[in-house]
Chain A
Amino acid sequence: MKTFVIKGRCLASPPPSDWREQLARMLGAKPRRIGVWAELVMYGALRCMADAGEAKLPQDAQIWLSSRRGTYAATAVVLEQLQDGLPMPLSFLQTQPSQVLALLAARMEWSGNACFVADSELPALLRLAAAQAGQGGALIGWVDEMDGGSTNWLRLQPAAIAENGFVPASPEEVFSPDAVRLQLAATELRVQRARQASLGEKWAE
């Protein structure tokens, strides 16, 4: 059982109407030819990092990214292009979900373990991340383009195991601003809320 501090979060389902403008401001320029899904990935990840008060990921941190449909829209475009000839090279690159991991790495001046896992729920993805996470923790995201788009992220840092004050939580509740610590016990998610955490710290004193 591992315990994480939730350092930052981004819950954008759907993202705000001006998310593209916000992304351009964060990047300093409009992203070019990376595809809508990758733009959503960048937007949510950078918002989450800003929420955590970090611009760069520690070198031993990891990135785990999941999606129900990933790059399907880009893939459909390339399959269409293949009817008549070869696809555009950049269009083909957009079909590869892992391309955006390199973009994130470059943006965060980071190099390390990053992985795309198709259609993985929060407890399952957390299980993989927890098995490999070092002191730098993990940046974990779920991003989809359909139904108005969604880009939900957590920035997690390993914490000393705290036994008190954790309650079972749904994946949605994990993203609540008052959830400050997260535990995965077997396949059950548990969170410690801000009020419970401060009580626990008082007891510890």
Chain B
Amino acid sequence: MSVRLRIIRAAPSSTVQDAGRFGALQHGVGASGPMDREAFENAGALLQAASTAGIEFTRAGLDVVVEGDGTTRAAFAGGDFLLRINGRPTPWGAAASLQRDDRLEVTPGPAGNYGYVRFDHEIDVPMVMGSRATSLVAGLGGLKGRALAAGDILPLKAAGAGTGPAHTGPSPSASDAPIRFVWGIHAELFTPGLRQAFAEKQFRVSDRLDRMGVRLVDESLVFAGRPILSLVSDAIVAGDIQILGDGTPIVLMRDHQPTGGYPRIATVISADLDRFAQMRPGARLAFEPVTLHKARFLYLASRAR
């Protein structure tokens, strides 16, 4: 027998994730993976040898009881949540050894939408197309292709080749700094005036956000009343900012569909997408254009941290 986790409570859309399911776009399946990749990696870096998969929970947190025999170490990162282990307040971003009857309670904290718990044991769900990541949009991977729910059991098993300690630098703290982007594949379909307004005006994160995408409130009506463009369906990447027919901007996230036909004005740079994912409904943000060279520089810098 080995350790298993019994889910007492899981916030909506909490899922099993690993780094992602790469190489499946040609089959119509996107990569999924953690909404905040760096936080996911940081949780792994707190362990001697993290397994590949972990649990991503959303704002309302997670409540888990450990069952079975043996011990496992768990580590937490992402956003800023409140953590209790067996009722004892425990600092967020800590690691702890767990055994039978131990209880982990994660409740909403001051910041962030996504938190992670990772283990030095593998979460024993089937590999689907080379990954344990849950794709909620495709309904595959993780635990039966769906979000975790009360009563679920996640067995843990000895980890195979772990990821090992990754970089251990601090996460970039939540900030009001603009979300940087490179112009999108349809940017030239928007007038120069509209592009300028997009880069100058403020937007607000709406309460309609999930792993597929984050709808923004366009308070300055930058995109209101623009004609619907009919485009040939084309490849999507995480971070693409598409404008719906009614003028609503959506930032497409890790569970995006592989292709789409709405115009995309911009793509959030890789170095800023984790920070954007953690912005809560109501948060105001501005977008700032950067060159592809700068985007790459910022990405390399974030990987070297």
Is chain B found bound to chain A in the same assembly?
A: no
Residues of A bordering B, CB below 8 Å? none
B residues at A contact (CB < 8 Å): none
